[in-house]
Amino acid sequence: MKHLALLLALISLPSNASELPINKVLTQIKTCSPTLVIRSQKLTIAQQNEACEVLSKQEAKFHQIFNTEGKPVKHDFNKNLRVNVYNSRDEYVKHASGHFNMPTDNGGMYLEGYPDKPGNQAEFITYEKGKVIWNLRHEYVHYLDGRFNTYGDFCAALHDSHSPPENCPKPAPLLPHSVWWSEGIAEYIAKYHDHPRAVKDVSIQVEKYKLSELFDTSYEMNGGGERVYSWGYFAVRYMIENQREKVEEMLVFLRAGDLPRYQALIRLWGTSMDKDFTAWLKKQIK
Ligand SMILES: [Zn+2]
């Protein structure tokens, strides 16, 4: 038994000396506002101030579009977001899995946690790429959308991602999912009318997807970067700018977590907007 205990002790030792606790790596803390804190490794004071400013403008724009200021969804205690910024992609890969129990084969992650649990901390984990805080604006919208537009935690939403750290259960719910909305709105608020990559992606084949098909976008099936982000961006932009009443009707269900009615509504829309969407899209990419 003694040997076994020794063996276990050896196994549980950190595999390399770089596994420093988070407060020894992300040592700088900047409180932007009651809704936003930035914890970082090596951001300059100027970078921290700029990030605070960019995100507060974005937050104001979000509330202006949705009229959601001070009106979070029920049972959501995610009063603020903590942004965690590693100094480089290498530092991110080295530390983030240990610090947040998450994969690092990505460009950063938003971890909503369990918003219904008081004391839960929503975290966005990312890194500096050059002087840019990677995906900062996009991910901040996920926080806002999660708090003000969509009820429940990440696994409660309609999608088919099973990856860690949430490890949402299989099988995934039936289509339609809500990935077109959550990723599309993040792109729309972050980029608004200045999104050259989306224009480029969609221009390759402008009739590739009907709007009704985009409502069935998810992560694993019907996924892929172009469809999720670029086409999702245009689907959301079209809906917000041309079908506002329908968006409001849909948000009533998403905010209440009434997903069967959300799905029924999307199916009720069916193909009714497909022609108008494609015609509109052709004008946007000229
Ligand atoms: Zn996203």
CA 234–ligand 1 middle distance (angstroms): 15
What's the CA gap between 180 and 185, in Å, rounded?
8
pLDDT, tens digit, for every residue of 179-224? 999 999 999 999 999 999 999 999 999 999 999 999 999 999 999 9
pTM, full prediction: 0.90
CA 130–ligand 1 middle distance (angstroms): 21
What's the CA gap between 236 and 186, in Å, rounded?
9
Are 28 and 40 in contact by the 8 Å Cβ rule? The answer is yes
Q: Is the dihedral of CA 121, 104, 144, 50 positive or negative?
A: positive
CA 13–ligand 1 middle distance (angstroms): 35
User: Domain range spanning residue 96?
Assistant: 25-149
CA 108–ligand 1 middle distance (angstroms): 9
pLDDT, tens digit, for every residue of 128-140? 999 999 999 999 9
Give the pLDDT confidence score for residue 186 in this predicted structure. Answer: 97
Is the same domain home to 184 and 256? yes
So which residues are the catalytic ones?
Answer: 139
Is the same domain home to 223 and 262? yes
Is the same domain home to 102 and 59? yes
pLDDT, tens digit, for every residue of 50-102? 999 999 999 999 999 999 999 999 999 999 999 999 999 999 999 999 999 99
**CATH at residue 55:** 3.40.30.160
Nearest to 235 by CA among 221, 252, 247, 253: 247
Euclidean distance between the first and the last CA atom of the chain, given in angstroms as a whole number: 74
Among candidate residues 128, 149, 170, the one where a domain is terminated: 149
CA 105 to chain centre: 16
**Domain-located, residue 168:** no
CA distances from 138 to 55, 75, 183, 258, 270 (A): 10, 24, 8, 25, 28
Report the domain count for the chain: 2
Ligand 1 ion: nearby residues, β-carbon < 5 Å: 183, 186
**Domain-located, residue 256:** yes
